[in-house]
Amino acid sequence: MTDPVKTERPKSGSWIALGLLGAAAVATGVIYLNLPAAKPQSETEVTLPVVENRVKALGQVLPVSNLLTIAGPTGQDAGRIATIKVVDGQEVKAGDVLAVLDTEPVSRALLAQAEANVEVQRAALAAKSADLDSSERQLAAQVDQQDVALQKAELELDNKTKLKNSGLYQDTALSDLRLNVEAAKYNLKNTQIQLDRTRMRSKDGLRLDEASAQAQLKAAVAALENSEADYAKSFIRAPINGRILAVFGKAGEQIGNDGFAEIADTSVMEVRAEVYESDIAKVAIDQIAAVTSRALPSTLTGQVTRIGVRISDQSILSTDPAAVVDARVVEVWLRLDEASSAATKNLSGLQVVATFNTLEKPDA
């Protein structure tokens, strides 16, 4: 009798291996189910993050017209300030009197004297012209009269000479007639010389005596202009339309090296920013920048209008003790918009921070 087929039980090590394989298969299936479906290769987009790169620079608010220092006459005879007619912050027009010097009374008197002298010389020229006209007419009349006298004397001599030749007149009597003819010729010649001299003209077309009087009038006019210039020095006037930012002069003092006052047109303001040389390549014309300061209630807006072409030492220093004080910078000018100009028109010289925003993509 054949023995039935015996069924062998697997060894315990085999069971352990089968269990591990099953667990791994289950875990792989769960992970696969939780993965998102992959997009086709054609729909895959590769994007690089945009990095905001801010360039900051210290700046100073200034009028577009620049600051002008109003000077005054210098020297021992320059005079002292007698009256000051403006105060800080006052709006003025070009030509307005800002101050009067104590030289004004004397200069005014000299000016009046020069004006009177011009009138005297002008009247003298007119009188000289009238006299010359009269003299010329008189001399011309004398020439005509003496010419007639000469003709009469010559005719009488001729008649007497004919009578003498006929034996009716003595030769001794002709000598007086000959002298009369010579005298008439002399008088006519002398008067003609005077007339010719009166009619002589200068290169300007004036008679000589007129030219002399005209020269004296020109000298008087030149002296008047000099007096007017001296009188003008007695006043300090505004050179432009603008605002008085500061008055340096004081009554009773001479105007010093700092000038009398500082003026500027504050209707349009700008910012002069100093950008580090390492950052200047990130700044361009027409670029917009934000302008901030602790003294400003809000952020201002400026636009780059000009970029310097020279690298220089930093002149606007930060209050931060850790700031770099020997940096090399390039000047950049920002024109403030209308609202920002209005907000800073009374803050010339204010230190601000200009922030230029530039967008850059990093290298892939």
Name the nearest CA neighbour of 316 among 286, 282, 354: 354
Name the nearest CA neighbour of 288 among 267, 311, 271: 271
Contact 238, 98 (CB under 8 A): yes
pLDDT score, position 83? 96
Q: Is residue 256 very low, low, confident or very high in pLDDT (cuts 50, 70, 90)?
A: confident
pTM equals 0.61
Distance of alpha carbon 107 from its chain centroid, rounded? 29
Give the start-end residues of each E strand in 195-299: 235-237, 242-247, 261-264, 269-276, 288-292
Q: How many CB atoms lie within 10 A of CB 165?
A: 10
Let me know if 351 is exposed, middle or buried by CB neighbors in 10 A (0-12, 13-18, 19+). middle
Q: Which CATH number fits domain 106-232: 1.10.246, 3.30.1490, 1.10.287, 2.20.25?
A: 1.10.287
Phi (first) and psi of residue 22, to 5 degrees: -65, -40
pLDDT score, position 222? 97
Q: Is residue 324 very low, low, confident or very high in pLDDT (cuts 50, 70, 90)?
A: low
Mean pLDDT across the stretch 352-357?
Answer: 93
Type of residue found at 138:
Q
Paired tokens of 338: 């209308």
Type of residue found at 172:
T
Mean pLDDT across the stretch 77-92?
Answer: 92
State the Cα–Cα distance between residues 135 and 357, nearest whole angstrom: 90
State the Cα–Cα distance between residues 238 and 251, nearest whole angstrom: 18
Q: Is residue 162 very low, low, confident or very high in pLDDT (cuts 50, 70, 90)?
A: confident
pLDDT at residue 224 is higher than 90: yes
Per-residue pLDDT tens over the stretch 168-208: 666 666 778 888 888 989 998 998 888 888 788 777 778 88
pLDDT at residue 275 is higher than 50: yes
What Å distances lie between residue 344 and 243, 266, 286, CA to CA?
A: 13, 8, 21
Name the nearest CA neighbour of 259 among 31, 99, 50: 99
- Residue ranges covered by each domain of the chain: 56-61+268-360, 68-102+235-262, 106-232
pLDDT at residue 6 is higher than 60: no
List, in order, residues 6 or more apart from 218 with CB less than 8 Å away.
Answer: none
pLDDT score, position 207? 83
Let me know if 36 is exposed, middle or buried by CB neighbors in 10 A (0-12, 13-18, 19+). exposed
Phi (first) and psi of residue 240, to 5 degrees: -145, 170
Contact 207, 132 (CB under 8 A): yes
Mean pLDDT across the stretch 87-102?
Answer: 94
CATH code that applies to domain 56-61+268-360: 2.40.30.170
pLDDT at residue 136 is higher than 80: yes
Per-residue pLDDT tens over the stretch 291-321: 999 999 999 999 999 999 999 998 887 655 5
Phi (first) and psi of residue 92, to 5 degrees: -135, 160
pLDDT at residue 14 is higher than 50: no
Which CATH class, in words, describes the domain spanning 68-102+235-262? mainly beta
